[in-house]
Structure 1
Amino acid sequence: MGEAGVRSARRPEVRLPPLEPWPDGELQPDGDYDGLEFREADLAGQDGAGARFMDCALTGCAVDETALGRARVLDSVLTGLRGVGTNLAESTFRDVEVLDPRLGGTQLHGAVLERVVIRGGKIDYLNLREARLKDVVFESCVLVEPDFSGARLERVEFVDCALKEADFGGATLKDVDLRGAAPLEIVRGLDRLSGAVISTGQLLDLAPVLAAELGIRVEG
C-alpha cells in the first residue's frame, strides 16, 4: 500500500535464461519465438500478427509499421525499440520491461498490459484506447498525447514521467498514482479521475481546465 491509501503496482521480475541469437529473417504470423535474442534486427514492415514471444530480448530493433496485432509478449525485455506506426492492437504484454523506447503512433488499442514497466525514452501518440492496464509503471519517460480513452487502469503509476495532453475520456481508474507526472496535462476526461491520486500542486495546475470543464467562470 502506497501513500494516501493508493495500492502500489507490482513490478515484473524478469530473469531471462541464456538466449539464442535470432537467425535474421522474416517474422511469421502466429510464429512462436522462445528464448531468442533479437539484436539490432530490422523488423520494419514485417508481419508477426498473433506471434508469441516468450523469454526473449529485443534490443535496438526497428519496428516501423511492424504488424504485431494480437501478439503475446511474455517474460521479455524490450530495449531501445524505435519506429513509427507499430501495430500492437489487442496484444498481450505480461511480465515485460520496455526500456528507452523511441516510438510514435504505436497502436495498443484493446491490448492487455499486466506487470509491465516502461522506463525511459519517449512515445508520441500512444493509442491505448479500450486497453486494460494492471500493475503498470511509466517511469522517467515522456508521453506525448497518449490516448487512454475507454481504458481500464488499475494499480498504474507515473514516476518522474512527463504526461502531455493526455486523454482519459471514458476511462476507468483504480489506484492510479499520477503524483509523479510532471508536467501533468489532461485535455479530456478530468471527470474520470475518480480512483486516481494527484498532488496539491497538480490540482492547482489543473484548476483552470477543471473549472472550464465544469462550466465555472473564473474572473479577477
Structure 2
Amino acid sequence: MTTLRRDDLYDDETFDGTDLSGVDATGSTLVDCTLRGVVLDDARLTRATLRGCDLVDARATVLDAVRGDWTDVTVAGARFGGVSAYESRWRRVTLRGGKIDYLNLRDATLDDVVLDGCTVDALDLAGVRATRLVLRDVRVRELVLDRARLAACDLTGLDTGGLRAVRGVGGLAGASITAAQLVDLAPVLAEHVGLTVV
C-alpha cells in the first residue's frame, strides 16, 4: 500500500517509511494498521476512524486529525509540529515519547488517554471532556484548560515546574496533582480565585 484516499477502508495494512505528505484521507477508516516511519506533512485525516492502529516514529510539520474517532491507538516516538485534533473522540489512546509543538484537542472527548514520556510545547484542552486522562513524565510549556471538564484524571506526572503559561486553571477541577505541583501552580490558582498574597 502506497497511499491513503478519502473515505476508503484499510484493514491490517502496513505503511513502512511511506511518504504520505499532502494525502487527503478525509473520512477514511484504518483498522489494525501500522504506520512506521511515515511522513504526514500536511496530511488530512479529518473525520478519520482509527481502530487498533500503531503510529511509530511518524513525522509531520502539520497534521489535520480534526473530528477523528480513534480507539486503541498508540502513537510512539512521533515528531509533530502542529496537530489539529479538535472535536475528536479518543478512547484508549496512548502518546508515548516524541515531541509535539502544538496539540489542539479543543472540545474533544477523551476516555482512558495516556501521555507518557512526551513533550508537548503547547497543549490546548479548552472545552475538553476527559475521563481518566493520565500524564506520565510529560513536559508542557503552555497549558490551556478553559471550560475543560475533567473526571478521575491523573496529572501527577506533569512537569509543572516547566510550565511557562497556564490558562483556565479552574479547569483542573476533577484532576489529581501532587503537593509539589500545587506549589508550582499556587500563583495562577491565587490569581484565579482573586487571592492577594503579601
The one of 163, 171, 174 equivalent to 1:195 is 174
Q: Mark the structure with the bigger radius of gyration.
A: 1
The residue aligned with 2:61 is: 84
Matched to 1:197, the amino acid is S
Deviations 1:66-99 (A, max 9, x none): 0110001101111011112211100011011110
Q: Which string of whole-angstrom CA distances, capped at 9 and with x for unpartnered residues, describes residues 106-132 of structure 1?
A: 010011100111100011110000000
Q: How far is 1:60 from its partner?
A: 0.6
Q: Per-residue deviation at 1:213?
A: 2.1
- Asked if 1:145 is matched to 2:117, the reply is no
1:211 to 169, 190, 195: 190
User: Would you say how many aligned residue pairs link Structure 1 and Structure 2?
Assistant: 196
Q: Per-residue displacement from partner, 1:35-68 (whole Å, max 9, x unpaired)? A: 1100111111111100111010000111111011
Mark the runs of 5 or more structure 1 residues left unpaired by the alignment. 1-21
8 Å contact kept, 2:160–2:184: no
Query: What are the within-5 Å matches in structure 2 for residues 98-113 of structure 1?
Result: 98-113=75-90
> Is structure 2 residue 153 aligned with structure 1 residue 172?
no
Structure 2 unpaired stretches of 5+:
none
* TM-score, structure 1 normalization: 0.86
Question: How far apart, in 1, do the equivalents of 2:16 and 2:178 lie?
Answer: 41
Q: Alignment partner for residue 48 of structure 1, among 25, 40, 43?
A: 25
Shift, 1:215, TM fit: 2.2
Q: CA deviation at 1:151?
A: 0.6
Distance 2:108 2:171 in 1: 15
- Residue number among 74, 78, 87 corresponding to 1:97 in the alignment: 74
CA RMSD of aligned residues (A): 1.1
Cross-structure match for 2:94:
117
Question: After TM superposition, where is structure 1 displaced by more than 4 Å over at least 4 residues in a row?
Answer: none
Asked if 1:74 corresponds to 2:51, the answer is yes
- CA–CA separation in structure 1 for the residues paired with 2:74 and 2:64: 18
| Among candidates 12, 15, 23, match of residue 38 of structure 1 | 15
Residue matched to 1:60? 37
Q: Structure 2 length as normaliser, TM-score?
A: 0.96
Is the 8 Å Cα contact of residues 46 and 68 (structure 2) preserved in structure 1? yes
Matches of 1:124 and 1:175, distance apart in 2:
26
